[in-house]
Structure 1
């Protein structure tokens, strides 16, 4: 997967996991995201929904099925089986380290042979107050691309780059197919150009390393 670096937003996503070797092996087999997704050792306490979804946007249903298939074969748990909906086709799985992944496409039919190509990686944060968290990121230089009041915000990003979006926490949990309750560490750190900071919902950012 070749993802363009977006200096204004996200350059890498770091998952904090108890077993880095196992997590690295899982993600290499499941999705093949390369250095865009990194893992770091952590035993920080965490329970329930961690407040985020990592979404892989692809071009057609067969690609959804391929990525979900390799994820499950590598040890992921199915939270929502892939199926058609009014917006397209997709499903949700949970990695062995606990991270929740949604793989989806807006297409309802295949237009060519199945591929492993990922068009977008989206970090979707489930937040308590969408408007307040939106303002936090706007104040740090991010530009809003889409906004639906207090329900959903998506920030501008270069094509094929890592994107950031905000959703209400309960809505995000429902989308993931899990209860909204959760405590402890988010077990995720976002590497990007806005510097070292923590947003209103406790999601940590740091300056991305080469």
Structure 2
């Protein structure tokens, strides 16, 4: 129990969004899109992250996204923890791409090691308890600052909203819909921060 099979991003133009994600990440990503006209301004309270083997893959994925219409938020660069960068998709979703390696060890294959959905929360301890009560299992945690769950194809992590926005390189200000639906086997519910989960058929 407690797996995430895919995420659905709500967008104004599904045709344009499908074309973007196919061009940026290929046709087999765990991202789906759905039409929505719900108002949403500023930071939506979450980011999507791709973890990859090496810097060359970071660069190629970000380059693909920019060529497809994304906007740079953080140019790819080395840091204490590795190499990475971030961008905003045309639909407004914030993405980061990162590798723990600072040097290339092989030709780029486009391999994605993990997809991580990071939720910005108001009370990390309360949100952690909520998800534990819904059958999710913690795989990694750093007190009340960060917690990651073992949710299968798409990993879930919780971090304070302000800290997540700072890491992404944007203001934490935002109102309206998250424009996100989380699909898995944990059931249908809404968490304390308003993120909606949907039960997948089958």
Instruction: Give the TM-score category using the shorter length.
Output: over 0.9
Assess if the C-alpha contact under 8 Å between 1:126 and 1:167 holds in 2: yes
Assess if the C-alpha contact under 8 Å between 1:143 and 1:155 holds in 2: yes
TM-score (normalised: structure 1) = 0.94
**Secondary structure in 1 matching 2:41:** strand
Residue equivalent to 2:120:
126
Residue 177 of structure 2 corresponds to residue 181 of structure 1 = no
TM-score (normalised: structure 2) = 0.97
TM-fit CA distance, 1:114: 1.1
Residue equivalent to 2:66:
72
TM-fit CA distance, 1:33: 5.4
Residue equivalent to 2:140:
146
CA distance in 1, matches of 2:91, 2:27: 16
CA 1:19–1:209: 2 relative to 1, 3 Å = farther
TM-fit CA distance, 1:36: 1.7
Provide the aligned C-alpha RMSD in A. 1.1
CA distance in 2, matches of 1:173, 1:35: 24
Residue equivalent to 1:199:
191
Tell me whether 103-112 or 7-16 shows the greater mean CA deviation.
7-16
CA distance in 2, matches of 1:168, 1:17: 25
Residue equivalent to 1:137:
131
Runs of 5+ unmatched residues, structure 2: none
CA 1:35–1:65: 2 relative to 1, 3 Å = closer
CA distance in 2, matches of 1:28, 1:81: 22
Equivalent positions of 1:111-122 (< 5 A) are: 111-122=105-116
Residue equivalent to 2:17:
23
Runs of 4+ in structure 1 over 3 Å off: none
TM-fit CA distance, 1:32: 1.6
Assess if the C-alpha contact under 8 Å between 2:190 and 2:196 holds in 1: yes
CA distance in 2, matches of 1:65, 1:33: 19
Assess if the C-alpha contact under 8 Å between 1:191 and 1:209 holds in 2: no
Assess if the C-alpha contact under 8 Å between 1:14 and 1:39 holds in 2: yes
CA distance in 1, matches of 2:2, 2:186: 7
Of 81, 84, 93, the match for 1:90: 84
Residue equivalent to 2:75:
81
Equivalent positions of 1:36-47 (< 5 A) are: 36-47=30-41
TM-fit CA distance, 1:151: 0.5
TM-fit CA distance, 1:206: 0.4
Runs of 5+ unmatched residues, structure 1: 1-6
